[in-house]
Amino acid sequence: MVGVLLSVTFVVMLLVVVKAKHVFDLQRRTESDKAGERGEQMASELISRVLRPDDRLFSNLVVNYQGKRTELDNVVVNSSGVFIIEVKNHSGRLEGNIGDFEWTKYHTSAAGLTYTKTVKNPIKQVKRQIFILAGYLREADINVYIRGYTLFLQQNCPVEDECVLESAEDVDNAIHIHVKKTMDPAKQAAICECLDQLPPLVF
């Protein structure tokens, strides 16, 4: 009888531990999702501040091409071209090289504890997004050179590269100042029409 009671007690305690871990993981994912959503909202506002009358901003798009799927935080289309701006709102310190598939994020809590987590290299992530979006547009007989950037809202990118943005000035330079080509208005309109047909990302 005592053995049965001990077994039941053990099972109950195990279920409590599993449930607590599930709730903790869910809270962590929810907090991470909220941080990402806040970051994307901040980025959209930042990008909007430097937009010109010729610019068209698309946000939170889902693109599929040859069985590959990607989510685009922001795409700007103007007379200078097409620009993908991926947003990262990672807190803490990031470590990694431009060629790494993953980076390491270090975050120190209010209690002084340091946690580590691996995150995808966003620079490589943007290159994949360029490939998929370019393929999607080619299916509509639109060939266009796409430039890709990553906007680090916490200004903590561990590498220096021309595709790294950290401010509204950087965004303005990327989509207006550092580009010279002028795209045909008809082509610009065709690209916008294709992007208008893409489904929005549902949070």
Q: pTM for the whole thing? A: 0.80
* pLDDT reported for residue 26: 46
* pLDDT reported for residue 44: 83
Residue 144: exposure state from Cβ atoms within 10 A (0-12, 13-18, ≥19):
middle
Low-confidence ranges of the chain (pLDDT < 50): 6, 12, 16-18, 20-26, 28
Crossing angle of the two packed helices 185-196 and 122-138, in degrees rounded to 10: 100
Q: How far apart (Å, rounded) are the C-alpha atoms in residues 116 and 190?
A: 44
Domain boundaries, the chain: 2-196
Contact in structure between 98 and 123 (CB atoms under 8 Å): yes
* pLDDT reported for residue 23: 45
Helix (H, G, I), strand (E, B) or coil at 39: helix
* pLDDT reported for residue 134: 98
* pLDDT reported for residue 37: 67
Q: How far apart (Å, rounded) are the C-alpha atoms in residues 80 and 55?
A: 9
